[in-house]
Amino acid sequence: MSNLFLGGEMPSNLPAAQSKQFFLTIVLSVSQQTGGGFFQSISSLRALLSNSPDSFVITVLDARGTLREEAARLKREHGLKDFEYRTLPKRLPKLRDRILTDNHPFYRVCRFALRLIGREVKVSRLARFVDSSSADLVYFVSPVPEAHELQKKAYVWTLWDLFHLDHPEFPELRTSGKFEVRESFNSKSIRKASAVVVDSYQLAIKAHEAFGAPLDKFVVVPYAVPNSRKLNAESIQDDLPSSIKPFRGKFFFYPAQLWAHKNHARVIEALSVLVDKGYDIHAVFVGRDHGAGSSLQRIIDKHGVQDRVHVLGYVEDAEIAVLYRESLGLLMSSYVGPNIPPLEAMSFRVPIIATNIHRNQLGDAALFFDPDNWEELANRMQQIMDPSTREQLVSAGDKRLVEIRRDRDSGNALLRDRLLRISRRVSQA
């Protein structure tokens, strides 16, 4: 049996369900600025709309109210089940709900008074709204922290990572109570969920060991392979950004938001080593600055590669597509993974250099290196400039994409089976 199956009931063709409708609410709580998280959430929704049981009546709840256009596109897409689109109201209609959720000073005073008599009543607006809805089951397609606050509804949760346990040394995973917040909502949400969707067997094992949840609670659905950027690349007429045009075919590409754990520093150090050896190469970074930009600039200045490192900030998907196609290759130097960019790179037939943590995701479709060793990264960058090595990696990437798509299809079939089983149990309650 594949590692996608972690135990419990064997997947099977269950007998036809009763004709009674079953109401499933899918919660979207991401925005397009989330990057890979947005793409994976929409991909999970699309997969369910294309293959959900006939008895399921689906409502999509846009918790942030930012995905109306995306929902409209899905409604027009051929072969997908119709669904009701709803947004989370800014204010709940019933007084008792506002007392529990609203941050207006009056309602905060009400909650304070209730606490004085021993009643802890604060709950998120999202949890209260969902608990008051007609949903039979709720599926969170991203790691929504409020999920465990549900009191009336069973739910399926999604876990993307446990990075705070892997690398608490990074400030974005440790400071200002971030570690404690992650630890709390991950533990509670996993334990209370009827099922948890993860991207890999390794993450399921890690969560099982960290939080004591039964291993058969987890359903492995590998990350979706992005297609939208490839379509954009084939249709656009625009060239590289003007600042990058002089370096066409001479730059390594790293699309990652500026966090310390993304490890841009190692790329700069390796680049400096190769420039000192006479290589005419550059590095292009794209992504929003989340606090690591100033330290990154200091490292660039320290190594004297101001004219070799190009930090473009946020760019549109169409520009990212061109940057992939015109690059020497993708550098994935992150301490944490798996990640979405390697899947994009393989779909563009671009060679990959990645940190060791990506071995399970990429197999033999990349050159790997120790994320703390810039000399090893520099050696890999030299290797990937060899045409035969590039050809070998691209060919391996083609084969790996076939395997990933196959495993994702299998994972979605397992998830459909699990949702159907949960629906029958909920219906009996």
- Do residues 174 and 56 both lie within one domain? yes
3-state helix, strand, coil in the chain (%, to 5): 50, 15, 35
Q: What is the mean pLDDT of the chain?
A: 88
Whether 208 and 68 share a structural domain: yes
Residues 172 and 284 in one domain: no
Whether residues 38 and 72 fall in one domain: yes
Residue 275 has pLDDT above 70, yes or no: yes
Measured at the alpha carbon of residue 203, what is the angle toward residues 200 and 207, in degrees to the nearest 5?
145
If asked whether residues 75 and 98 sit together in one domain, one would say: yes
Residue 319 corresponds to which amino acid? E
Q: Residues 203, 326: one domain?
A: no
Q: How confident is the model at residue 188 (pLDDT cuts 50, 70, 90)?
A: very high
> Is residue 106 pLDDT above 80, yes or no?
no
Evaluate if pTM is beyond 0.85.
Answer: yes
The span from the CA of 279 to the CA of 265, in Å, is 19
* 155, 120: one domain: yes
282 and 315 co-located in one domain: yes
Cα distance between residue 142 and residue 100, in whole Å: 24
Distance CA 348, CA 408 (A): 19
Number of domains in the chain: 2
Q: In this structure, is residue 15 part of a structural domain?
A: no
Is there a single domain that holds both residue 344 and residue 249?
yes
Among candidate residues 317, 300, 350, 322, the one with its CA nearest the CA of residue 243: 322
In a domain, 115, yes or no: yes
Is 14 inside a domain boundary? no
- Domain assignment of residue 394, yes or no: no
**313-367 pLDDT tens trace:** 888 878 888 999 999 999 999 999 899 999 999 999 999 999 999 999 999 999 9
Residue 10 falls inside a structural domain: no
Give the domain extent around 334: 228-385
Are residues 158 and 253 part of one domain?
no
Q: Could you tell me if 205 and 303 lie in one domain? A: no
Q: Do residues 126 and 103 both lie within one domain?
A: yes
- What CATH number should be reported for the domain holding residue 345? 3.40.50.2000
Per residue in 319-339, is it b (16+ CB within 10 Å) or e — as a string? bbbbbbbbbbbbbbbbbbbbb
pLDDT of residue 147: 94
**Is residue 396 a part of any domain in this protein?**
no
Does residue 89 fall inside a structural domain?
A: yes
